[in-house]
């Protein structure tokens, strides 16, 4: 974890504890998670609900916090996976029952055939032979009916299991997306960055990481409201996504921060991508949908870092974060790469900057 990321997470934690203390809500893990999530702003539906509660002056309580936690954070994805799993289990049990029935019928049929074989080895009357033939014909029809029922159940189960698999794939896909912006979420980014670093280490391919932060977003959000703020977040997310390609991955990192993993891209190319995104964001004039009021333009600051052979995901992210921090301090609406930082600070102790 980079120094800036640590400060950011600590700020969210302090805000969550402050809300717990001021509201008189017990600091149980689920309530801390609820208010920590509220502090980060990554769940817009949750924030809208809590803000409405604050505006209406409702007294906070453990029961209210429990209800909000169950509604927004008790994992809907896990519930859906459980539902799919239970349906899959029920279908498999039905198939097993059908197979057991077929095996029992087949075993009985096999016993009847063996018995008939023994009878045929002896001298039997025409009437007895006719009776044996009728019995075998009847049992053969029962066996056919059982097999037909098994085939039907297997066919239905195949279709059901295919549908369940599609449901499961949808749930998994949704679990990797940010619900507001519909680009990759933090979990998906963490996994993607780890895989990209491992691939860059093994294949000696370039890799860059871009991190972006919307300038003055909190002020904009407070001035025009959360719905307009959500519109801005979606706009920035789609702008980043439309300017990357191939195996690149755009993700919402948290709050108003976004990241993009750029495999097979050197630092110069990554800076070009960042500049394209920066200009595209700045070029868009915002309108308030409800009133068509012009809200002006937004800007974003960018930090770009390139993979080094000794890098871990954390060290690469930390360098990109330092570049973002420098872009903010240089006046915002800028792209700063680690080469820019090296030029600003110059070589130290006789060692040239890489």
How sure is the predictor about 168, in pLDDT bands with cuts at 50, 70 and 90?
low
Indicate whether 15 pLDDT > 80.
yes
Which range in 66-80, 245-259, 269-283, 335-349 is most confidently predicted, on average pLDDT? 269-283
Using the 8-state DSSP alphabet, how is residue 295 labeled? Answer: E
Model pLDDT for residues 61-104, shown as the tens digit of each residue = 877 887 787 777 765 555 666 666 677 677 777 777 777 777 77
> CA angle, corner 53, sides to 13 and 290, nearest 5?
105
Q: What is the pLDDT of residue 349?
A: 40
Work out the pLDDT band at 344, boundaries 50, 70, 90: low
Find the mean pLDDT for residues 312-318.
94
pLDDT at 347: 47
Model confidence over 220-250: pLDDT tens digits? Answer: 888 887 778 888 999 999 999 999 988 999 9
pLDDT of residue 308 exceeding 80, the answer is yes
CA triple 110-113-114, angle to 5 deg: 90
Token pair of 42 as six digits:
């990554």
Kindly report, residue by residue over 177-202, the tens digit of the pLDDT: 888 898 999 889 999 999 999 999 99
For residue 84, the model assigns a pLDDT of 66
pTM beyond 0.95: the answer is: no
**Model pLDDT, residue 77:** 58
Which has the closest alpha carbon to 258: 283, 285, 272, 278?
Answer: 278
**pLDDT, mean of residues 130-135:** 79
Cα–Cα distance between 129 and 326 in angstroms, integer?
Answer: 99
Q: Would you place residue 278 in the very low, low, confident or very high pLDDT band (cuts 50, 70, 90)?
A: very high
Between CA 108 and CA 8 the distance in angstroms is 71
Q: How many helices (H) and strands (E) does the chain have?
A: 12, 7
């Amino acid at each position: 974890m980079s120094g800036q990321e640590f400060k950011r997470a600590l700020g969210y934690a302090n805000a969550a504890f402050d809300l717990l203390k001021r509201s008189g809500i017990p600091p149980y893990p689920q309530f801390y998670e609820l208010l920590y999530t509220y502090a980060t702003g990554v769940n817009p539906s949750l924030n809208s609900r809590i803000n409405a509660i604050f505006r209406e002056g409702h007294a906070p309580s453990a029961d209210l916090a429990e209800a909000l936690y169950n509604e927004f954070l008790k994992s809907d994805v896990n519930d859906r996976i459980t539902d799919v799993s239970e349906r899959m289990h029920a279908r498999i049990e039905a198939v097993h029952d059908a197979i057991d029935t077929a095996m029992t019928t087949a075993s009985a049929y096999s016993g009847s055939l063996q018995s008939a074989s023994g009878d045929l080895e002896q001298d039997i009357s025409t009437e007895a032979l006719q009776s044996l033939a009728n019995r075998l014909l009847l049992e053969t029809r029962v066996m056919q009916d059982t097999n037909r029922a098994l085939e039907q159940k297997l066919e239905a189960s195949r279709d059901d299991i295919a549908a369940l698999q599609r449901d499961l794939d949808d749930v998994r896909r949704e679990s990797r997306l940010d619900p507001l912006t519909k680009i990759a979420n933090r979990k998906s980014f963490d996994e993607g960055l780890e895989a990209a670093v491992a691939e860059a280490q093994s294949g000696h391919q370039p890799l860059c990481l871009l991190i972006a932060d919307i300038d003055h977003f909190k002020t904009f959000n407070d001035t025009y409201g959360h719905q307009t703020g959500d519109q801005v977040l979606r706009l920035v997310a789609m702008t980043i996504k439309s300017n990357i390609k191939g195996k690149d991955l755009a993700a919402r990192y948290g709050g108003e921060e976004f990241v993009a993993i750029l495999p097979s891209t050197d630092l110069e190319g990554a800076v070009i991508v960042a500049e394209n995104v920066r200009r595209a964001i700045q070029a868009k004039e915002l309108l308030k949908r409800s009133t068509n009021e012009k809200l002006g333009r937004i800007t974003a600051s960018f930090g770009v870092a390139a993979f080094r052979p000794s890098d871990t995901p954390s060290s690469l992210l930390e360098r990109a974060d330092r570049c973002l921090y420098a872009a903010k301090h240089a006046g915002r609406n800028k792209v700063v790469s680690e080469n820019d930082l090296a030029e600003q600070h110059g070589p130290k102790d006789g060692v040239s900057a890489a």
